[in-house]
Amino acid sequence: MNAFTEVARDVYVLRYPVLDVNVTLVVGDGAALLVDTLSTDAQARELRDAVRAVTPHPLTVVNTHHHFDHCFGNAVLAAPDRPIWAHEEAAILLREQVTKLKREAYAEWGPSHPELAAGLAEVTVRPPDHTVHLEATLELGARQVTLRHLGRGHSVGDLVVHVPDAAVLVAGDLVEEGAPPSFGDGYPLEWPETLFALLELTSPATVVVPGHGAVVDRDFVRAQHNDLTELDWLIREGHACDAPVDEVAARAPFGPDAARVAVRRGYAELSGKAA
């Protein structure tokens, strides 16, 4: 199990090797905040040991969104009397559609990651019990942490975690490093605006923790925002011209495979057929 690395004062990131997922630990006065909880009970138990190597404080858990690799470890990491926070839409999905989410994750990852799939089949998911509409502030002793929903992008319920006194932003999968953004149930026509709002919270000194990959800075986020904006305009232009999906995807940033999914979703939204 990888250990946490301190990226700012009393803010730690653990980069878990399976799916290259980031988990963030914020330590305050007598309390701590854990952002995301990995995929399975076994992974979550490893994560719990890594947390306890840093702090004995009681944990509040935050899920950046509803995808399995960020929240299926909730039941192991959150004590029964401790809160789990998420955006209201993410909480609804984890409460009402968890069987579907587990089945889809198992089908997607079973062929390439059989151990992960086996863990997904057995995990009991604890949904969030505290929700955010637009913003909420949590207190870790004297330290404040703000949870913000800046708009839709990677998912319907993306949540950003801001630690202002340490200049850290935990972006979840709104920002990706080392791989293209994932558009499977994303909103490519809204993502640029959401990421612009995230940029407004940064300074040159801000540490940005992406959902996957290495920690990045404001310049990296700005470059990803530019690519998402270009993709947005290509989708709108292609839809207006009735261009084939593959033709638009071939000209888009992030590579044709990721872009093809984004173009299909963008076309569906512009045609009034989005889910």
Q: Domain spans of the chain?
A: 5-270
- Mean pLDDT computed over 118-135: 96
pLDDT at position 149: 98
pLDDT tens digit sequence for 40-74:
999 999 999 999 999 999 999 999 999 999 999 99
pLDDT tens digit sequence for 194-229:
999 999 999 999 999 999 999 999 999 999 999 999
Grade residue 275 by pLDDT with cuts at 50, 70 and 90: low
Cα–Cα dist 65/69, whole Å = 10
Tokens found for residue 273: 């057929």
Helix axes 114-122, 98-109, angle to 10 degrees: 160
Burial class (CB in 10 A: 0-12, 13-18, 19+), 49: exposed
Nearest to 139 by CA among 158, 164, 117: 164
In this predicted structure, the answer to whether residue 173 has a pLDDT above a threshold of 80 is: yes
pTM of the predicted protein model: 0.96
Mean pLDDT, all residues of the chain: 96
Arch. (CATH architecture) of 5-270: 4-Layer Sandwich (3.60)
- The helix/strand count (H/E) of the chain reads as 10, 12
Side chain identity at residue 242, one-letter code: D
In this predicted structure, the answer to whether residue 2 has a pLDDT above a threshold of 90 is: no
